[in-house]
């Protein structure tokens, strides 16, 4: 059974102009998020990602559809019951949302106080959490004395305080530089692997997904247009919007403008071969071309790695008899995706 299960979930808001149609922020979304996953939700600004998070976190009710957390339907629950559900879900934010007037220790202790923990238990739990996020020496500091990465680590410690099973990360690294982003993502990976927390990562940064997510859903205008294993979605995105998104981080696929330049610079037919581990290798493609007796030149390409699995794209300028080139393309097509730029 999925830990978070959405079925035909829709959320609409009345338009600012009451006579206009309502704004459909989340449109008929069905998704299952398994326990133990790092599940990425990506999409451009306005795609509906934050709204989806607010629905999962029970901060707002869905307009229609069903949301089950750990098998329990949350739509229609009363506020008191929703509060109990929310205790099982931690949350971290882009702007960290720490209490500036409180020390690091008091920030992390806050949810435990609200939950009614005893003082001695709070102290022990906060010590344990600060140790885990590597900030034991900053317990007495205030947030304004910390770097962005350190603030987010406090945010993570606070979100984990009550031992939630789910952590929602809404653009949690979007305000950080690349090195600090990497540090925070490494910590989130440990939260997932060492503490067994299921993490839902909302982001517009594809490399965040590439680094830590196991599954990904791509949102566009309120809908989930594609979802699955990160490797599958990244190596073979099927929807044009996901292709554009994936293209921002994946090495090796020339953009239309780059293709135009390649065509100008190189004689012959321009062909891109895309292969994934288990399918074929670069060497096999070169061998097929040599056997067909055509001349070729590698003009663009790259190999990508997602959690130890490789896929790549090679763009070649192929010269020779048209029939021989057609034969070579047919042979390569048996084990790689081939697209020819026309």
Ligand X SMILES: Nc1ncnc2c1ncn2[C@@H]1O[C@H](COP(=O)(O)OP(=O)(O)OP(=O)(O)O)[C@@H](O)[C@H]1O
Smallest gap from Cβ 46 to ligand X, in A, equals 4
Per the listing, tokens 């034969």 go with 327
Q: Choose, by CB under 6 A, the member of 2, 7, 10, 23 that binds ligand X.
A: 23
Q: Does residue 6 bind ligand X (CB under 6 A)?
A: no
Per the listing, tokens 């790695």 go with 305
Q: Does residue 36 bind ligand X (CB under 6 A)?
A: no
Q: Does residue 13 bind ligand X (CB under 6 A)?
A: yes
Q: Choose, by CB under 6 A, the member of 31, 38, 39, 43 that binds ligand X.
A: 43
Q: Choose, by CB under 6 A, the member of 10, 36, 46, 268 that binds ligand X.
A: 46
- Characterize the bridge pairing of strands 166-170 and 198-203: parallel
Q: Does residue 49 bind ligand X (CB under 6 A)?
A: yes
Which region among 46-54, 95-103, 105-113, 262-270 touches ligand X (by CB under 6 A)? Answer: 46-54
Number of continuous H segments (helices) and E segments (strands) in the chain: 12, 14
- By beta-carbon proximity to ligand X, the closer residue of 50 and 339 is 50
Q: Does residue 45 bind ligand X (CB under 6 A)?
A: yes
Q: Does residue 264 bind ligand X (CB under 6 A)?
A: no
CA atoms of 308 and 230, how far apart (whole Å): 12
Smallest gap from Cβ 205 to ligand X, in A, equals 11
Which residues, numbered 77-106, are part of the site for ligand X (CB under 6 A)?
none
What tokens appear for 95 in the block?
């702007």
Task: Give just the sign of the alpha carbon dihedral 88, 92, 93, 97.
Answer: positive
Q: Does residue 47 bind ligand X (CB under 6 A)?
A: yes
Give the DSSP H or E segment for 63: none
What tokens appear for 36 in the block?
């133990």
- By beta-carbon proximity to ligand X, the closer residue of 170 and 288 is 170
Strands of the sheet containing 72-73, edge to edge, are 23-33, 4-13, 64-69, 72-73
**Pattern 177-206, ligand X, x by CB under 6 A:** ---------------------------x--
- By beta-carbon proximity to ligand X, the closer residue of 171 and 183 is 171
Q: Choose, by CB under 6 A, the member of 10, 50, 66, 281 that binds ligand X.
A: 50
Which residues, numbered 224-243, are part of the site for ligand X (CB under 6 A)?
none
Tell me which residue of 52, 89, 93 sits closest to 176, measured CA to CA: 93
- By beta-carbon proximity to ligand X, the closer residue of 41 and 314 is 41
Give the residue ranges of DSSP H helices in 6-140: 49-56, 79-87, 104-114, 119-132
**Alpha carbon of 149 to those of 1, 146, 305: distances in Å?**
35, 8, 26
CA atoms of 230 and 39, how far apart (whole Å): 9
Q: Does residue 48 bind ligand X (CB under 6 A)?
A: yes
The count of other CB atoms within 10 Å of the CB of residue 34 is 14
Q: Does residue 25 bind ligand X (CB under 6 A)?
A: yes
- By beta-carbon proximity to ligand X, the closer residue of 50 and 103 is 50
Using CB under 6 A, count the residues that bind ligand X.
12
CA atoms of 300 and 255, how far apart (whole Å): 11
User: Using CB atoms within 10 A of its CB, is residue 110 exposed (0-12), middle (13-18) or buried (19+)?
Assistant: middle
- By beta-carbon proximity to ligand X, the closer residue of 43 and 301 is 43
Q: Catalog residues that contact ligand X under the rule CB under 6 A.
A: 13, 23, 25, 43, 45-51, 204
């Amino acid at each position: 059974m999925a830990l978070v299960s959405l079925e035909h979930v829709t959320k609409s808001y009345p338009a600012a102009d009451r006579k206009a149609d309502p704004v459909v922020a989340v449109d008929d979304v069905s998704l299952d998020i398994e326990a133990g996953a790092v599940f990425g939700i990506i999409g451009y600004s306005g795609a509906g990602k934050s709204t989806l998070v607010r629905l999962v976190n029970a901060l707002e009710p869905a307009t229609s559809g069903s949301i089950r957390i750990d098998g329990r339907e949350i739509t229609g629950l009363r506020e008191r019951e929703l509060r109990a559900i929310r205790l099982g879900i931690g949350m971290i934010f882009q702007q960290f949302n720490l209490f500036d007037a409180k020390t690091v220790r008091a920030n992390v202790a806050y949810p435990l106080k609200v939950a009614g923990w005893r003082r001695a238990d709070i102290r022990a739990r906060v010590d344990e959490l600060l140790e885990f996020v590597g900030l034991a020496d900053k317990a007495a500091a205030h947030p304004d004395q910390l770097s962005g990465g350190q603030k987010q680590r406090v945010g993570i410690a606070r979100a984990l305080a009550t031992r939630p099973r789910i952590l929602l990360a809404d653009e949690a690294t979007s305000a950080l530089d690349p090195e600090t982003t990497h540090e925070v993502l490494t910590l989130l990976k440990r939260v997932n692997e060492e503490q067994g927390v299921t993490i839902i990562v909302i982001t517009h940064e594809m490399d965040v997904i590439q680094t830590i997510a196991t599954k990904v859903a791509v949102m566009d205008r309120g809908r989930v247009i594609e979802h699955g294993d990160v490797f599958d979605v990244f190596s073979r995105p099927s929807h044009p919007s996901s292709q554009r998104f994936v293209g921002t981080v994946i090495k090796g696929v020339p953009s239309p403008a780059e293709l135009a330049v390649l065509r100008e610079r190189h004689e012959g037919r321009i062909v891109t071969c895309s292969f994934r581990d288990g399918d074929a290798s670069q060497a096999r493609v070169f061998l097929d071309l040599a056997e067909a007796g055509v001349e070729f030149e590698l003009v663009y390409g790259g190999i990508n790695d997602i959690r130890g699995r490789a896929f790549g794209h090679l763009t070649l300028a192929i010269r020779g008899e048209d029939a021989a080139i057609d034969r070579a393309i047919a042979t390569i097509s048996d084990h790689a995706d081939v697209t020819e730029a026309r």
